[in-house]
Structure 1
């Protein structure tokens, strides 16, 4: 007699090939797209669910109560701000994310943003395209990141990958986070003190109640009029109102933002400010990394339930929650 396949709740928007792999390995229940329909669906089928393929769906204590036999959540994302992590831990449910997979491309994006910001590359491009080089001969001097001390806010997998790259550029490095790490780098227990000691802050921390608006007016003032902010974490880590006010008063030199408080809506004040570099949440946005992220969702569930992946032995080990 054939063994029944484990039942997986698909609460993620995945590529069609990844959905096909899930269906080949498991009995898949698709979570209704409209949140208003979740409660009724989970009341009827939640007790059957053993695993969840997750992307952006909110998983709170009430959701977990509706899936009492849940063993594992496999998240497509690195960020887990849509998950009540403490409630998951309290229920002894395994939780895996993809920070180990997307770290390199996000770190590359962060470095690209930092260089674009400090070397003023977007405005320099516009200078050439407008024919101003011919008329004005010289472009204003920019800043050298190699001479800067950079503070990393959240030294998890992604923050560590950024630090590795910045070290090769010759930057001085320091960090802030909830836990001191075994690294040869100064640690600051207070983010404002880190800002005061640095020329640039790069934000890589998860969004939690403790980190919401972590970068506020006090921190921006500590960074000072020659300081820069790069955010590839989550938008609400920065108090956008405070950031806009600091820019308007020339209290910081500029910012590079891949994430925003209410994305995809971006304040007009940021769009209009040529000292701000803006990108549309593309930190992990390469074909290679996005494919590996989707593969990891499937492979993590396959390993947990000891079923063979359609692609053979999974290439990437499961990864526990990364809270920097």
Structure 2
């Protein structure tokens, strides 16, 4: 019997046939330029599986609308807006795409580091506008600089490897506790890491525990020659504090792939020329998308075959 899969994010056309061949009937429930989940057209009772992303998630009150829901799959690594307590209480499995998009996100993070340091976007725009000699700015090189990573998970480690091997950068990090498998310099606080770093990369998961870890005090510690790069979740950075720091040139610049309240972008950010903005696309390479959709399909197929899923989120077990 076909299994109804509700989509809170779209499955790219090249991958839809694989889900259909595996016995899943796709039920889109998408709202343009909105991150809030909506109910499907038709009977919610038929929904047994749901595909979402961490920044949309599924709240307990929305979960209650699906009496036969058995599994929630998060397309990427994040799951911060899925109510795990409600899922556990209902016996609903929750999986994510851990390890599927790390390389793509790390690549994008390094691209943002280079672009903001060398002012690539503003210079490109100026040259197109007919300027040349007057914009031959002196910008810092990457080689030999200090890279601070907030969140030394898979993505953070890959950024560290690229910047250390490729640019000879010194690397330090902050986690809730030191990693026993890393010999990189560990900073006990975010402020300590920011004060040490020339480039501060945010690579920590989102959610309530990390909300506004990057605040006015951290930005002040980063200082007028420091750059902030965020490729994790917009909620980790206090946007108002960041805007003020950029306005006052209290930091040298910022490069952001994620924003609080995205896809809405604060007008104040758009008016600043010391910030680069990309629309949450770090994980959107062909290779990463293929790996993410394959992981979703494998988790779904294994679950409904009574086999352990490949990547349950922590605390969900492998039933």
Query: Compared with structure 1, are the counterparts of its residues 89 and 226 closer, same or farther at alpha carbon in structure 2 (3 Å cutoff)?
Result: farther
Determine the C-alpha separation between the residues in 2 that align with 1:230 and 1:90: 38
Answer 1 or 2: which has greater helix percent.
Answer: 1
Determine the C-alpha separation between the residues in 2 that align with 1:167 and 1:319: 30
Aligned counterpart, 1:180: 178
Contact 1:11 1:57 survives alignment (8 Å): no
Query: Compared with structure 1, are the counterparts of its residues 83 and 179 closer, same or farther at alpha carbon in structure 2 (3 Å cutoff)?
Result: farther
Pick aligned residue for 2:155 from 149, 158, 182: 158
Query: Compared with structure 1, are the counterparts of its residues 36 and 288 closer, same or farther at alpha carbon in structure 2 (3 Å cutoff)?
Result: closer
Structure 2 residue matching 1:319: 3-state secondary structure: coil
Q: Which runs of 5+ in 2 are unaligned?
A: 32-36
Determine the C-alpha separation between the residues in 1 that align with 2:11 and 2:150: 30
Aligned counterpart, 1:252: 251
Aligned counterpart, 1:60: 59
2:14 counterpart of 1:14: no
Contact 1:155 1:176 survives alignment (8 Å): yes
Q: Which runs of 5+ in 1 are unaligned?
A: 309-316
Pick aligned residue for 2:311 from 299, 319, 324: 319
Query: Compared with structure 1, are the counterparts of its residues 90 and 204 closer, same or farther at alpha carbon in structure 2 (3 Å cutoff)?
Result: farther
Aligned counterpart, 1:312: none
Larger relative contact order (Cα-Cα within 8 Å, sequence gap ≥ 6): 1
Determine the C-alpha separation between the residues in 2 that align with 1:66 and 1:118: 48
- The alignment's C-alpha RMSD in Å is 3.1
Aligned counterpart, 1:113: 112
Query: Compared with structure 1, are the counterparts of its residues 198 and 32 closer, same or farther at alpha carbon in structure 2 (3 Å cutoff)?
Result: closer
Contact 2:6 2:29 survives alignment (8 Å): no
**Which structure's CA Rg is the greater one?**
1
Residues 46-195 of structure 1: matches in 2 within 5 Å?
49=48, 51-55=49-53, 57-64=56-63, 71-88=70-87, 93-133=92-132, 135-136=133-134, 139-168=136-165, 169-181=167-179, 182-195=181-194
Aligned counterpart, 2:34: none
Aligned counterpart, 1:231: 230
Contact 1:100 1:319 survives alignment (8 Å): no
Query: Compared with structure 1, are the counterparts of its residues 322 and 29 closer, same or farther at alpha carbon in structure 2 (3 Å cutoff)?
Result: same
Count of equivalent residues: 305
Structure 1 residue matching 2:143: 3-state secondary structure: helix
Aligned counterpart, 1:301: 300
What TM-score comes out, normalization by structure 2 length?
0.83
What TM-score comes out, normalization by structure 1 length?
0.81
Determine the C-alpha separation between the residues in 1 that align with 2:67 and 2:258: 34
Determine the C-alpha separation between the residues in 2 that align with 1:320 and 1:162: 25
